[in-house]
């Protein structure tokens, strides 16, 4: 990226303000506090912003992108800024403007007949879930940040969450997109079709691209019939091998009704209980591993409960689990989910946390975990593994907290060494170093280590073809 020879920030800001209104172009020089936008959710990455731009619609996004392309200013698309890899904040070098999608928050259409919703990119995930429910439909993407993350951010990160087992990740849920390209042109792919084989499927390029190829301004997504019944269970077991057997047995018995299968180590549960006093222990004993399971159905709660209970009893007899509790009410089910979703917050409060987001063939996960835990402790005595995640999808957050008494900053300095140990083992088993959070700034150098030269070259050619000036979210992914 080459900054313009005589770049004049004041003139640039004046032009941006003329395009979308002074109130919607925030800048530090006039006293606006930009810190909530220039720093990422984990407080790991921070970069200076020439401005925070808040356009009202796709037309304003186009005008701003054209201004940026003409003047050599980089654009950092930002949704709810809940991403885990520092992809939504500026990097050092060259003038960069954050383009926030929050004002593009309209739900344009809910089409129950087609089971689709068309929404602007800045729509909060929870808002879409609620509006779909009001129309008797389900939008199934669900994750701990759903109260603040945006559909555009979910698409740009190909978000996963806790219902991928049944409904797939964001890539599986998107039918159409509208994108503003790095030269300001608007690409209209906003169709609600489940079948369309007319050449390359261009929308897939922008899903998971972390804003490096263009700005998503709207999307058409799949909806499903709203489930009438919901049952939540929480099980304890001694080994992760049992948890994997449990997954197979429950899916065999419940089929498509089985929607979530979330793993939590004993340490993860204890961490939540220590940071969120009052969190009840769901089971009497302490278990090395726990699984939170959910089944949903169009039928009655009673019938689903009976089916779940019968399946769990058979699993208890088969030894896939050793203790289990079935939530007796909606509130109990919500409390079990809170235990799971609060792990992220508990780790954030705990400080000194090296995060991983790996995926492996599910069948290989027990061997991976059983080999990796002792190797980790041998290499980093006292390290505290906090393992949890979407076991049903083969996706683990194999996180490692600082040994007691080690300051967070000192532990962060071990990041590369810890990552190498874990990610080399993942690569040996043909897994991925990022199952759902993406690459961003955090894993950019690591992606270069684990992808083949041919994969990287194709990615670079795509980037060059769409963004020859390198102005779209520079310093991320590639
Ligand atoms: P941001 O963080 O603002 O941006 C993320 C990336 O998308 C950046 O590269 C940004 O440039 C780009 N982007 C944003 N909007 C657009 C747009 N309109 N067009 C182009 N690019 C854009 N993630 C999961 O996958 N599964 C989970 O279970 C999960 N749980 C979480 C729980 C908590 C408590 C938190 C804090 C985060 C969690 N996340 C999870 C991570 C995060 O919420 C997701 O990555 C989410 O999809 C990011 O959405 P966002 O709107 O906050 O995007
Ligand atoms: C989760 O599964 O809770 C999220 O991906 C966030 C995290 O990794 O903590
Ligand atoms: Zn996750």
For 24-55, how does the pLDDT look when each residue is reduced to its tens digit (9 = 90+)?
A: 999 999 999 999 999 999 999 999 999 999 99
For 375-398, how does the pLDDT look when each residue is reduced to its tens digit (9 = 90+)?
A: 999 999 999 999 999 999 999 999
Q: Note down the domain range covering 263.
A: 229-344
Mean pLDDT of 289-315: 96
Please count the structural domains in the chain.
3
Mean pLDDT of 291-320: 96
Q: How many CB atoms lie within 10 A of CB 44?
A: 17
Q: Say if residue 357 is in the same domain as residue 271.
A: no
Q: Say if residue 189 is in the same domain as residue 240.
A: no
In a domain, 74, yes or no: no
Can you tell me which atom of ligand 2 is nearest the CA of 355?
8
For 86-143, how does the pLDDT look when each residue is reduced to its tens digit (9 = 90+)?
A: 999 999 989 999 999 999 999 999 999 999 999 999 999 999 999 999 999 999 999 9
Nearest-CA residue for atom 6 of ligand 2 = 344
Ligand nearest the Cα atom of residue 356: 2
Can you tell me which atom of ligand 1 is nearest the CA of 122?
18
Choosing from 300, 321, 344, the residue where a domain stops is 344
Residue 43, classed as helix, strand or coil, is: coil
In 223-329, where does DSSP find H-type helix? Answer: 240-254, 266-275, 301-318
For 210-248, how does the pLDDT look when each residue is reduced to its tens digit (9 = 90+)?
A: 999 999 999 999 999 999 999 999 999 999 999 999 999
Choosing from 208, 225, 242, the residue where a domain stops is 225
351 in ligand 2 pocket by Cβ < 6 Å?
no
Q: Say if residue 331 is in the same domain as residue 361.
A: no
Q: Say if residue 243 is in the same domain as residue 330.
A: yes
Determine the distance separating the centroid of ligand 1 and the alpha carbon of 382, expressed in angstroms.
32
Which CATH number characterizes residue 188's domain?
3.30.465.10
Q: Say if residue 215 is in the same domain as residue 275.
A: no
Can you tell me which atom of ligand 1 is nearest the CA of 155?
47
pLDDT band at 6; cut points 50, 70, 90: confident
Instruction: Determine if the pTM surpasses 0.75.
Output: yes
Nearest-CA residue for atom 26 of ligand 1 = 161
In a domain, 37, yes or no: no
182 in ligand 2 pocket by Cβ < 6 Å?
no
Choosing from 193, 225, 257, the residue where a domain stops is 225
Q: Say if residue 217 is in the same domain as residue 238.
A: no
For 340-362, how does the pLDDT look when each residue is reduced to its tens digit (9 = 90+)?
A: 999 999 999 998 899 999 999 99
Q: Say if residue 295 is in the same domain as residue 313.
A: yes
Determine the distance separating the centroid of ligand 2 and the alpha carbon of 395, expressed in angstroms.
10
In a domain, 120, yes or no: yes
389 in ligand 2 pocket by Cβ < 6 Å?
yes
Nearest by Cα to 143 from 41, 234, 211: 41
Q: Can you spell out the DSSP letters for 393-431?
A: GTEEEEEEEPPTT--HHHHHTTHHHHHHHHHHHHHHTT-
Q: E-strand spans in 34-180?
A: 51-53, 74-78, 96-100, 107-111, 116-120, 137-138, 174-180
């Amino acid at each position: 990226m080459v900054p313009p020879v005589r770049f004049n920030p004041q003139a640039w800001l004046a032009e941006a303000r003329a395009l979308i209104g002074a109130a919607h172009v925030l800048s530090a020089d006039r006293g606006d506090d930009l810190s909530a936008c220039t720093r990422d959710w984990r407080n790991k990455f921070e970069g200076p912003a020439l401005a925070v731009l808040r356009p009202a619609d796709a037309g304003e996004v186009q005008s701003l992108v054209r201004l940026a392309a003409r003047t050599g200013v980089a654009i950092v698309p930002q949704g709810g800024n809940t991403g885990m890899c520092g992809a939504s904040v500026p990097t050092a070098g060259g003038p960069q403007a954050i383009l926030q999608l929050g004002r593009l928050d309209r739900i344009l259409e809910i089409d129950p007949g087609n089971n689709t919703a068309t929404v602007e990119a800045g729509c909060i995930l929870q808002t879409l879930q609620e509006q779909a429910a009001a129309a008797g439909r389900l939008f199934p993407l669900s994750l701990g940040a759903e109260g603040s993350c945006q559909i555009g951010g979910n698409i740009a990160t190909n978000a996963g969450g806790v219902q991928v087992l049944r409904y797939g990740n964001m890539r599986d849920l998107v039918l159409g997109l509208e994108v503003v390209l790095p030269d300001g042109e608007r690409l209209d792919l906003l169709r609600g079709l489940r079948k369309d084989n007319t050449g390359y499927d261009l929308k897939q390029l922008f899903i998971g691209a972390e804003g490096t190829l263009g700005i998503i301004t709207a999307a058409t997504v799949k909806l499903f019939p709203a489930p009438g019944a919901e049952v939540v269970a929480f099980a304890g077991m001694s080994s992760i091998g049992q948890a994997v057997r449990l997954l197979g047995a429950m899916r065999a018995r419940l089929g498509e009704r089985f929607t979530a299968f979330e793993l939590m180590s004993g340490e993860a549960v204890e961490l939540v209980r220590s940071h969120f006093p009052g969190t009840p222990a769901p089971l009497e004993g302490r278990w090395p591993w726990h699984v939170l399971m959910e089944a949903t159905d169009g039928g009655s709660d009673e019938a689903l409960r009976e089916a779940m209970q019968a399946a769990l009893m058979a699993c208890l007899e088969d030894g896939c689990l050793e203790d289990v509790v079935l939530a007796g009410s909606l509130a109990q089910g919500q409390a079990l989910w809170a235990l799971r979703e609060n792990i992220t917050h508990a780790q954030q409060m705990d400080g000194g946390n090296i995060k991983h987001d790996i995926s492996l063939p599910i069948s290989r996960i027990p061997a991976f975990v059983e080999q990796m835990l002792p190797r980790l402790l041998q290499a980093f005595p006292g390290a505290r593994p906090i393992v949890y995640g979407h076991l049903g999808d083969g996706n683990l957050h194999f996180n490692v907290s600082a040994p007691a008494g080690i300051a967070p900053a000192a532990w962060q300095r071990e990041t590369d060494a810890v990552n190498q140990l874990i990610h080399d083992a993942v690569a040996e088993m043909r897994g991925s170093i990022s199952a759902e959070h993406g690459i961003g700034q955090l894993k950019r150098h690591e992606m270069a280590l684990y992808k083949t030269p041919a994969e990287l070259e194709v990615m670079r050619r795509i980037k060059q073809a769409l963004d020859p000036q390198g102005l779209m979210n520079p310093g991320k992914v590639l």
